[in-house]
Every structure is written in structure tokens, then in C-alpha cells.
């Protein structure tokens, strides 16, 4: 993935803002380059998203040398009226649980989950 991430076509369930926030929740010292690679976004897009999140109080950072350490406000309520009253911490706990499931080593469990009858 040298430089520019592969483009994605079609719709997705999560916004890029949610993806970036989840990546930061996973590593509070993540570099923009690493967040961009993880989220399959450009570094410029990640910088803009971080600025948006900081402007609205979801995220703040402190600079230590060349490293940023991010802090997420877990009590901040999600913006959309349909999620009225739902805090960022709830969203991130759901995404963290999913990420743990996806990176787990038990492939049989993954097969059962993906092939379970509806």
C-alpha cells in the first residue's frame, strides 16, 4: 500500500470519523501515517478528521517531542439525533470487541459466526 490506499467503492456501515476514532482508541500514540494505513485513508484525510474530532471536543492531544498522545472524551454524546444519548465509549466498546474477534486466532469460531443460520 505504498502511499495512496486502494479506493473503496460502495457504501459502508461506519464513517471514516468512526474508523479514525477507533484506531486512536486502540493506540493513543498512533502516528497519522499508521492511522491512515489502518483505515485505508490518505494522511491528509486523517488530519482533517482529527481536526474535526478535536474541534467538536471528541478528541484532544498533547505533544511530547515528535509524538502526539491522543485523549478521547468517552462521555461525549454521538452527534446524530438517532443516537441521542449514546456515548462515544459505547461505540468504541462495540468496535473494540469486534476488532478483538477479527484478530482472534480461533478460526473455527470465526467460521461458525460467519456461517450461522439466520
Per-residue pLDDT of 41-72, as tens digits, reads 999 999 999 999 999 999 999 999 999 999 99
Q: Tell me: the pLDDT tens digits for 85-94?
A: 899 999 999 8
Angle between helix 16-26 and 88-102 (nearest 10): 70
Confidence of residue 1 (pLDDT cuts 50, 70, 90): very low
Cell of residue 67, nine digits: 509524538
Q: Look up the pTM and report it.
A: 0.76
Cell of residue 3, nine digits: 502511499
Amino acid at each position: 500500500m505504498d502511499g495512496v490506499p486502494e479506493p473503496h467503492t460502495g457504501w459502508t456501515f461506519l464513517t471514516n470519523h468512526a474508523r479514525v476514532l477507533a484506531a486512536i482508541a486502540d493506540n493513543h500514540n498512533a502516528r497519522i501515517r499508521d492511522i491512515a494505513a489502518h483505515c485505508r485513508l490518505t494522511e491528509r484525510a486523517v488530519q482533517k478528521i482529527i481536526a474535526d474530532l478535536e474541534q467538536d471536543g471528541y478528541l484532544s492531544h498533547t505533544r511530547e517531542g515528535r509524538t502526539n498522545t491522543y485523549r478521547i472524551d468517552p462521555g461525549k454524546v454521538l452527534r446524530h439525533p438517532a443516537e441521542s444519548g449514546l456515548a462515544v465509549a459505547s461505540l468504541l466498546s462495540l468496535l473494540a470487541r469486534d476488532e478483538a474477534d477479527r484478530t482472534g486466532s480461533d478460526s473455527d469460531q470465526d467460521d461458525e459466526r460467519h456461517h450461522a443460520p439466520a
